[in-house]
Structure 1
Amino acid sequence: MGEINRESARTETIPEANHGEKKRICLVCVLVVLFSLSAGLLCAETLRMGILPVIDTLPLQVGVAEGYFKAENLNVKLVSFSSAMERNTAMQSGQLDGFFGDIPATLLMIRNNIPVRFLTISYATDRKQRMFGLMLSPELPMVREKGKITVAISKASIIEYLLDILKQAPETDMMQLEPVEIKRMPLRVQMLLTGKIDAALLPEPMASLAQSRGARPVVTDQALDIPLTVLNLHGAKGHLSEPFVRAYTRSVDAINRAPEKYRALMIKTCRIPKDLVDNFPMYQYPDPRIPTQTEVQQVQDWMIKKGLLNESIPYDRLIP
């Protein structure tokens, strides 16, 4: 009888042993999963991208919010600056791995021995969407729309490049457009609306804001066919170009497919004025591509004429 009880006791302990073994196996599995996730995070490459709070950068914001960059094992950190000057300083001092800007800014960075290369165009002119508009002050009398017109711009930028192109447009034929550098965008808008300057070449949504407060549009970028803004990456991070562009392409596709889904994100990150949040259009974004050699050379020729470059930078130094 005693033997039977001892055998029963041994038999009864078997389920407990099996249960303990299962717990140990589960614990090992959890540890393996956690280790794998940690290893993935440790292996993810960090990219610090300097940006401005403008609508051209919405695909970057979507890429972070939707996890598209993370899916490519990229830890993209968007560092926002209030001015291009602050962004440039951060890039030149090694605080950034890449930046959102324009072709003139890219070329000037290379001139200053920062080996950046184009990742993709962020935005290009589009006949269906105004991105830049030459706006006249509401304080400027109609009779003064001919002759000398002072125009607020930022120099050595896509805005100055655009102004020189728009001087050839039929709409400005009777105007003598004289650029005046006003570095900060909010000040340009304020001076335009108060009549302290005759006109300003403004990007969206500032052009729409100025128009809603009485500024008169003269001509826009919509008839042109040029890239306006670009993304750049430091040469030391060049091996990350392909996964970055794959993720960025997913962002562009997502916005173009369902733009209203990202309205709240645009309002939050792209400095949309309160007056415009309900009615400001959701933009369509171009398929990612590198600026062509011709497009880049046109900008270089202009910069050489302006004294911003001494000579052209070879195209193969600009592309991945």
Structure 2
Amino acid sequence: MIGRRRLTVLLTTLTVLAVVTGCGSLQAEQPPARTSPAVVEKARIKVGVLPVVDVAPLHIAIKNGYFRNEGLEVETVTVQGGAAAIPSLIKGGLDITFGNWVSFIAAQSDGTAKDVGGLKLISDAYQAKPGMFLILVKGNGPIRTMQDLVGKTIAINTLNNISELTTKAVLEANNIDPKRVTLKAMPMPDMEAAIERNVVDAGFMSEPFITKAQRNSGQLAIIDAASGPTDGIPIAGYGTTAKFAQESPNTVAAFQRAMAKGQRDASDRATVQALLPDYAGVDRDTAKLVHLGQFPISLDPTRLQRVATLMKTYGLLGADLDVEPMLVRGAEK
């Protein structure tokens, strides 16, 4: 009887030791705990923005502390458009800027940023959906069809950008020679009044300016510029110089992680709508009516290559350009 008890105790002890030893082995095989993100090289960064829906995710990321959690403080600087912001980016007045893909690709192609190693694209921002890229005219004016635009002037926020590309593409798709229409650079907030005063005949607008012009002045949309050949076209994102990306890789990675979270949150319309009165200067009733596009959470070279291809087709790019080497990816988590 005593022998059996001793045997039972011995077997129990061996079993416990085996379990403990096994646990130790399992723990030893576990991957090391994830380390904290590397310290950013530049904690306070200047980011160029426009007062448009497209940049809602950045404002969401600021409000929700996503940048702060990454060790970044973002100072926003209002710019007229991507083409206008790139010179400031190159000179160091901005660290990162929001801009349309056309302006970034054009500047890379023509060597504008060669002294800073070229341009790098670091975060997607916005992709077209129907109703969010419209050309508007006076509600009681003479223009009622696309053909009526021949010989007329259309305001766009800057030349050589996404507005010019999509305008030319959709005009040509409707058998209108783009050369028979004049494009005039003008800040988007000024377009509604310029149309009403007959300074220009039409204006290429995005939200919230579309809804404001329709509600305030009764202006009418005669072209959806994100249709036909430009349906679902990628619109804009954030870029920096290769010099900044090389000297501040941790800063760029931190920016990407915070932006990915902001882009994700922007899929909730209510979240975007609540912020528009604060940074876009629209009243809450107008904010309820704006058309929203898509907010991608990662950079896709295939999608962005479509922009470069259309640019070559419609004369905004002199030669083919491979977009993928411009992308900085890997931290959008």
Q: What is the RMSD of the two structures over their aligned residues, measured on CA atoms? A: 3.2
Correspondence for 2:232:
225
2:219 to 199, 215, 230: 215
How far residue 318 of structure 1 moved from its aligned partner, in angstroms, is 0.8
Stretches of structure 2 that go unaligned for 5 or more consecutive residues are: 1-37, 329-333
Correspondence for 2:15:
none
Segment of structure 1 superposing worse, 211-220 or 291-300:
291-300
Question: Is residue 256 of structure 1 aligned with residue 297 of structure 2?
Answer: no
Partners of 1:304 and 1:93 lie apart in 2 by: 31
- Partner amino acid, structure 2, of 1:229: A
8 Å Cα contact 1:69-1:76 kept in structure 2: yes
Partners of 1:44 and 1:142 lie apart in 2 by: 51
How far residue 121 of structure 1 moved from its aligned partner, in angstroms, is 2.0
Partners of 1:93 and 1:283 lie apart in 2 by: 33
How far residue 61 of structure 1 moved from its aligned partner, in angstroms, is 0.9
- Partner amino acid, structure 2, of 1:141: P
TM superposition score normalised by structure 2: 0.70
- Any idea what the Cα deviations from partners look like across 1:144-203, whole Å, max 9, x if unmatched? 76442522223201000010121145xx55797613213322333222123343222211
DSSP-derived class of the 1:121 partner: strand
Question: Is residue 75 of structure 1 aligned with residue 73 of structure 2?
Answer: yes
Partners of 2:144 and 2:135 lie apart in 1 by: 18
Summarize the Cα distance change of 1:247–1:192 in structure 2 as closer, same or farther, 3 Å threshold: same
Summarize the Cα distance change of 1:237–1:168 in structure 2 as closer, same or farther, 3 Å threshold: same
Structure 1 runs of 4+ aligned residues shifted over 4 Å read 40-44, 82-86, 142-145, 172-177
8 Å Cα contact 1:58-1:270 kept in structure 2: no
Summarize the Cα distance change of 1:144–1:69 in structure 2 as closer, same or farther, 3 Å threshold: closer
DSSP-derived class of the 1:217 partner: strand
8 Å Cα contact 1:139-1:194 kept in structure 2: no
TM superposition score normalised by structure 1: 0.73
Correspondence for 1:299:
308
Stretches of structure 1 that go unaligned for 5 or more consecutive residues are: 1-39
Partners of 1:312 and 1:186 lie apart in 2 by: 34
DSSP-derived class of the 2:46 partner: strand
Summarize the Cα distance change of 1:304–1:208 in structure 2 as closer, same or farther, 3 Å threshold: same
Question: Is residue 269 of structure 1 aligned with residue 276 of structure 2?
Answer: no
How far residue 310 of structure 1 moved from its aligned partner, in angstroms, is 4.1
Correspondence for 2:192:
189
Partners of 1:229 and 1:250 lie apart in 2 by: 17
- Any idea what the Cα deviations from partners look like across 1:270-306, whole Å, max 9, x if unmatched? 232x485463347464232224246435435625863
- Any idea what the Cα deviations from partners look like across 1:205-238, whole Å, max 9, x if unmatched? 2222222212221222454021011111332325
DSSP-derived class of the 2:181 partner: strand
Partners of 1:265 and 1:45 lie apart in 2 by: 25
Summarize the Cα distance change of 1:131–1:313 in structure 2 as closer, same or farther, 3 Å threshold: same
8 Å Cα contact 1:256-1:284 kept in structure 2: no
1:31-180 aligned within 5 A: 45-82=43-80, 84=82, 86-110=84-108, 111-112=111-112, 113=114, 114=116, 115-127=118-130, 130-141=131-142, 146-147=147-148, 148-150=150-152, 151-153=154-156, 154-169=158-173, 172-173=174-175, 178-180=181-183
8 Å Cα contact 1:125-1:221 kept in structure 2: no
Partners of 1:282 and 1:66 lie apart in 2 by: 23
Summarize the Cα distance change of 1:125–1:182 in structure 2 as closer, same or farther, 3 Å threshold: same
Partners of 1:209 and 1:80 lie apart in 2 by: 20
Summarize the Cα distance change of 1:64–1:143 in structure 2 as closer, same or farther, 3 Å threshold: closer
8 Å Cα contact 2:54-2:125 kept in structure 1: yes
DSSP-derived class of the 1:302 partner: helix
Correspondence for 2:256:
245
DSSP-derived class of the 1:218 partner: strand
Summarize the Cα distance change of 1:124–1:145 in structure 2 as closer, same or farther, 3 Å threshold: closer
Correspondence for 1:317:
325
Correspondence for 1:32:
none
1:14-33 aligned within 5 A: none
How many equivalent pairs are there?
A: 274
- Any idea what the Cα deviations from partners look like across 1:47-78, whole Å, max 9, x if unmatched? 32111121111111111111112222333332
Summarize the Cα distance change of 1:317–1:191 in structure 2 as closer, same or farther, 3 Å threshold: same
Partners of 2:261 and 2:135 lie apart in 1 by: 33
- Partner amino acid, structure 2, of 1:209: K
Summarize the Cα distance change of 1:188–1:251 in structure 2 as closer, same or farther, 3 Å threshold: same
DSSP-derived class of the 1:197 partner: coil
Partners of 2:151 and 2:78 lie apart in 1 by: 33
